[in-house]
Structure 1
């Protein structure tokens, strides 16, 4: 069954993939609300199971580290990839934990049949306020659409982390950045 689901999702277009993943994740969080209240780490596992397969973390990591990716050893790259992925899972899960049933609307995607990059926009309704736009920048890789950046209210995750991490690397080196990420991930301080 899981294999079939993976094939079905691989055949989805970017809009359908974001819609399906969002729906499944929000439904799982609602269905497991009582479990999550007793075991807050459960929401991290749901994000890992449902959303993680649709992100291109290596590309995200390359872009975030920029020239520092090329300077890093293969071991440093792998350790960064692991810790940065964990940070993003924790950050995303923390935001999802605040979800209170707001309506999420997907906007139509403009793309040509041969496009290999696209932006999918979701808008999260906010009571008494403008909707919050969330842009998923995606690319087609190995026959599947993968997210390589998320912008919330026009603030790019990649650009934000790139700037922050460049400063941390220049002051303490890449090993220090990796250690800082590991500490945040162990302490549950993933949202910073």
Structure 2
């Protein structure tokens, strides 16, 4: 899970609204929110210390609207998504989103000042599916390579649908874990477990 938490550090530095149809807007998308989320965290440092759960609201407000959770959920569940009922799909997507909110929030609080370096975009300017590459500097160690996969949706907004850390895909990582859970006890039980974990974390 360390690789995922490190990814959040980078992700939290990006993801502003992007209505342009050109690929460079995706790069800008990931970079621009750096100032916004970091500024909010510094401005509201006292509140975050008194109310640690407030970070969930910031993550939900600033970062997660730029994820396509339906697409991510579909890829994470694979064929199990296609056989799931609409109600199961909705419940899973909701709990999966909450899971990521928790993970991102903890990483932001613990690592908000870590330096990020973005690589120049390698894509056709007119591309509608791009990869944004970055590195997280590690004191006394090699940097961690992190890439974000984004696509331009029908409304002209760039959306993140996967994160890759040192060659490990977030979608593929959860897909393996969730597939094993479903094989053992079914989709409904997986959703129940996610809900229980999320609720337990909310009460801590």
TM-score (norm 1): 0.89
- The aligned residue for residue 157 of structure 1 is 170
The gaps in structure 2 that reach 5 residues or longer are 1-15
Alignment RMSD: 1.7
Select between 27-36 and 117-126 the one with higher mean Cα deviation: 27-36
Deviation for aligned residue 1:33: 2.0
- 1:123-162 to structure 2, matched below 5 A, reads 123-142=135-154, 143-162=156-175
Bigger RCO (CA 8 Å, 6+ sep) = 2
2:71 partner SS: helix
The gaps in structure 1 that reach 5 residues or longer are 1-6
CA contact (8 A) 2:148 2:164 kept: yes
1:52 partner SS: helix
Looking at structure 1, the residues matched to 97 and 166 of structure 2 have their Cα atoms a distance apart, in angstroms, of: 22
1:10 partner SS: coil
Residue 35 of structure 1 is aligned with which of 47, 52, 60? 47
1:146 partner SS: strand
TM-score (norm 2): 0.84
- The aligned residue for residue 167 of structure 1 is 180
How many residues align structurally?
183
> Which stretches of structure 1, 4 residues or more, deviate above 4 A after TM superposition?
none
